[in-house]
Structure 1
Amino acid sequence: MATLKDIENMLKDLTKNELRKLLKRVDKELSGHPSDLKALLTAKRYSNNHCHCTLCGSLNVKKDGHRKDKYNTQKYYCNDCKHYFTITTNSIVSGTRKDLTTWQKYINCMMNGFTVRQSADECGIHKNTAFRWRHKILDALTNMMNEVELDGIVEADETYFKQSFKGNHKKSKTFVMPRKRHSRGGKSKKRGLSRDKVCVPCAVNKDGLSVGKPATLGKPTVSAMHKVFDGRITSSAILCTDGEKAYQKFSKDNKIELVQIAGGKGKKGAYHIQHINNYHSRLKDFIKKFNGVSTKYLGNYIVWHNFVNFAHDSRENKEEIMLNYAINYPMTETNVMIPNRPATP
């Protein structure tokens, strides 16, 4: 049998066209098939050789034959909720016809911040599929990022985005436009912090951890701060903000030390809000690439930015984390439910 060295020597005699054909063949050999996804899911969803029900979480499960498909898919039966399921039920890859390599390519596209069309072209999938995959993966990331807690010196401030009802009109029988339409790309008709603006409270620390999501319309409120930051900033942290009064009530309610800098400029000893201002600038640049993000999806894009552009970790580790967490995440929404989310926070 030829050794690796023999094969390397043979490569020198191949034409460019032959090398391209060989590369496609190697890629095909490495790409695997849907069973590779099932193998990955099996490793994630099995615990101590016990499979838990993907619908109710019970361990009172037994094997129940195989599906009559070309993959001979193992079926399971839950003795508690009385449902049949397979290892892919309620997962992001349920019903997928794409292999593991396609999902890995798509994760790579997300790490690069590609648009839906760019991702679709790169992965050989329809743009609608690329859109659904994006939000399924981001839903999983949102669930993971909900466990993030900020400690140490935490800088917080709010930023604002124009309300966008993009994607709510098409085929909707229930959506009613709550305001007069704006010309696309035009400025808001109202000056200042009107209810045409979505308020997004955000916080960061020096360890690369960040929190942020749409909370209300118009000016920040104490309830908006609680909605975003409750359970996300430890009681031992020192919260550094501008002079916004809502932070005073929030920090008092949560027994967090507060340092406020009037006007948000300059420093107060070692305290400032330069990191959160930089974070906002990068977030705006990231969102701008997508040519208008609907308000109902804005939270997902913020999580995307936080994970890809702000978190401290290598790109390779982030890709692995994103793939493994997304594939193992128990899906609660169908494809039909994704565009039917509330239009405003």
Structure 2
Amino acid sequence: MRKLARRLGLNKYTVWRWRILVFSIIGSSISSASFSGIIEADETYQRESRKGSREWVRHFADPQNVPRPPRPRWEDFTTQGLKMMRGLSSWQLPILTVADRGGSRLFRRLPNRKSATVERAMKPLVPDDAVLCSDGGTGYRNLAAARQLEHFVVGSKPGKRVASGYYHNQNVNSLHACYKRFIKPFCDPASKNLSGYIRWLEMRLEGIRPAELVRAS
């Protein structure tokens, strides 16, 4: 924000308001990606962030009437020596990533990591004649069984990353790395704006400028 504000000769808060305005447009837009052939699917995760939230400030100001927020502040894990939750938890937000060998790509934030949620999100994306490559997640297995799809389960350990010499998840793994590089400079953006950031990345990969979408809207 500061770098762009200096470049444009504007106040940083003006630039921030512009970003939020763009997010309000692109965050609700739907990717036009369609998939066929060999389809790879997996999830990556983004740590929950409540930047801009006043819940802890309100709690400290009036602890009798404002309940304690449901989780510690991230800074408390280092300043107070709290133990970080191991593995995945409710504070890790799932992002579904899908890709096929034709170059179609999709990122989509999911409300939770339940298998039924994954299966529901994948249903409209996978045609009946597709071949699905995924990890051993129950949501993918249930989808493949219900639709009678050919399904190859691939792992992350050496020797298990490729099935039958051709089926793998390397394209979505590349998308995960792309997402991590994209989101890192924003230093854990507020989760309420995460859909906007995800769609922003999709548009960059698709070669669409935000201004083009604004004019189209």
Q: What TM-score, normalized by structure 1, do the two folds share? A: 0.52
Query: What's 2:175 paired with?
Result: 279
- Going from structure 1 to structure 2, the CA distance change for 1:324 and 1:250 (only over 3 Å counts) comes to same
SS in structure 1 at match of 2:137: coil
Q: 2:154 aligns with which of 261, 272, 283?
A: 261
SS in structure 2 at match of 1:289: helix
- Going from structure 1 to structure 2, the CA distance change for 1:231 and 1:282 (only over 3 Å counts) comes to same
Q: Which ranges in structure 2 are unaligned for 5 or more consecutive residues? A: 60-65
CA offsets 1:48-89 (integer angstroms, 9 cap, x no match): xxxxxxxxxxxxxxxxxxxxxxxxxxxxxxxxxxxxxxxxxx
- Going from structure 1 to structure 2, the CA distance change for 1:224 and 1:281 (only over 3 Å counts) comes to same
Q: What's the C-alpha RMSD, in Å, of the aligned pairs?
A: 3.0
Rg comparison, structure with higher value: 1
Structure 1 residue 244 and structure 2 residue 140: aligned? Answer: no
- Going from structure 1 to structure 2, the CA distance change for 1:175 and 1:205 (only over 3 Å counts) comes to farther
- Going from structure 1 to structure 2, the CA distance change for 1:136 and 1:153 (only over 3 Å counts) comes to farther
Query: What's 1:26 paired with?
Result: none
- Going from structure 1 to structure 2, the CA distance change for 1:188 and 1:132 (only over 3 Å counts) comes to farther
- Going from structure 1 to structure 2, the CA distance change for 1:323 and 1:185 (only over 3 Å counts) comes to farther
Rounded to whole Å, the distance in 2 between the matches of 1:184 and 1:131 is: 27
- Going from structure 1 to structure 2, the CA distance change for 1:193 and 1:236 (only over 3 Å counts) comes to same
Greater relative contact order (CA < 8 Å, ≥ 6 in sequence): 2
Query: What's 1:182 paired with?
Result: 74
Conserved? CA contact 1:240–1:271, under 8 Å: yes
Rounded to whole Å, the distance in 1 between the matches of 2:35 and 2:67 is: 37
Rounded to whole Å, the distance in 1 between the matches of 2:120 and 2:31 is: 12
- Going from structure 1 to structure 2, the CA distance change for 1:260 and 1:166 (only over 3 Å counts) comes to same
Rounded to whole Å, the distance in 2 between the matches of 1:188 and 1:129 is: 39
Conserved? CA contact 2:134–2:152, under 8 Å: yes
Conserved? CA contact 1:190–1:196, under 8 Å: no
Aligned residues: 204
- Going from structure 1 to structure 2, the CA distance change for 1:129 and 1:227 (only over 3 Å counts) comes to farther
Q: Describe how 1:1-345 pairs up with structure 2 within 5 A.
A: 116-169=1-54, 177-183=69-75, 189-217=84-112, 220-254=113-147, 256-263=149-156, 265-268=160-163, 269-308=165-204, 310-311=205-206, 313=207, 318-319=208-209, 322-329=210-217
- Going from structure 1 to structure 2, the CA distance change for 1:306 and 1:146 (only over 3 Å counts) comes to closer
